[in-house]
Amino acid sequence: MSGLRALLFDPLRTLFFPPHCAGCGHAIPDGEVLCATCQSGIEKIRPPRCEVCSQPYPGDLPVFTCPNCHGDPFHFENAIAVVRSRGIVREMIHRLKYNKELWLGRILADWMHEGLSDSRLRHWTPEALVPVPLHPRRLREREFNQAEILCRELSRLSGIPVKSALARRRYTTTQTLLDRRGRRQNLRDAFIPVKNGDVTNMNLLLVDDVLTTGSTLDACAATLLESGAASVRALTAARG
């Protein structure tokens, strides 16, 4: 059994959290996940925030759509995140992706589970969780797709099934130097529906680790809508 498989299927690893803070490693009482210090460093996203992309907004407007979402709408109706990708949260996502600490997916999925109670999802029921796919080359390098790990943990908590409806076919160049239009152009046609992945008339919740610009989730949502999905929303473990 490879190291990764052992990590994934070790029952002790998946049934219990280690008795140390998931953030800093300090000893914590049984049943706790984070120490008080790490807990206090987590930045929760609370209104007022953009109704579409969850960007927090200083002020007291009750309902607000940020200029980004206003001018050039996304294909998803909104993207929910409960915490900011800062400090300890950012480190945990990094450790999950690059250190293969897959057990952290459980903690991140707890925040996503909290996100399912967001008021913006009140009159909408997702029928499946769709992970944002990795390109096969990156999947080979990393050995797993963090969005799939998060989907699986969130499915366990919520009972919503996972539907891997998308594949990534182009190895896109890095997005960081591109503007919004450039990013969209770069990602156009990067995602395709998988065979036997029928999403006709389904309400779908796209899942990824972090929302930064929203371009990746937007491209995925566009493909799902072209494939006949009724509606697409997004949920990420954190927001940049």
Residues that bind Zn ion (CB under 5 A): 21, 23-24, 35, 38, 50, 52-53, 55, 66, 69
The 3-class SS string of 149-170 reads: HHHHHHHHHHCCCECCCEEECC
**Judged by CB, which is closer to Zn ion: 1, or 63?**
63
Q: How far is the CB of 38 from Zn ion (least distance, A)?
A: 3
Choice between 52 and 202, CB closer to Zn ion: 52
Q: How far is the CB of 78 from Zn ion (least distance, A)?
A: 9
Nearest distance, CB of residue 150 and Zn ion, angstroms: 21
Nearer Cβ to Zn ion (24/116): 24
Q: Is 92 helix (H, G, I), strand (E, B) or coil?
A: helix
CB burial of residue 87 (10 Å; 0-12, 13-18, 19+): middle
Residue 231's SS3 state is strand
CA distances from 33 to 3, 5, 38, 162 (A): 24, 23, 10, 26
Closer Cβ to Zn ion, 41 or 193, answer by number: 41
Residue 50 or 129 with smaller CB distance to Zn ion: 50
| Residue 179 beta carbon to Zn ion: minimum distance, rounded to whole angstroms | 16
Give the residue with the Cβ less far from Zn ion, 23 or 115. Answer: 23
Rounded Cα gap, residues 206 and 217, in angstroms: 7
Structure tokens at 154: 């969130």
Q: Which residue has the tokens 């984070």?
A: 34
Q: What is the CA radius of gyration of the chain?
A: 18
CB nearer Zn ion, residue 51 or residue 198: 51
- Nearest distance in Å: CB 144, Zn ion: 25
The residues facing 128 across adjacent strands are 204
CA 230, CA 240: separation in Å to the nearest integer?
Answer: 28
Q: Check residue 83 and report its DSSP letter.
A: B
Rounded distance between C-alpha atoms, residue 204 and residue 224, angstroms: 8
Considering the complex, what minimum distance in angstroms separates the CB of residue 82 from Zn ion?
16
At residue 203, the 3 state secondary structure works out as: strand
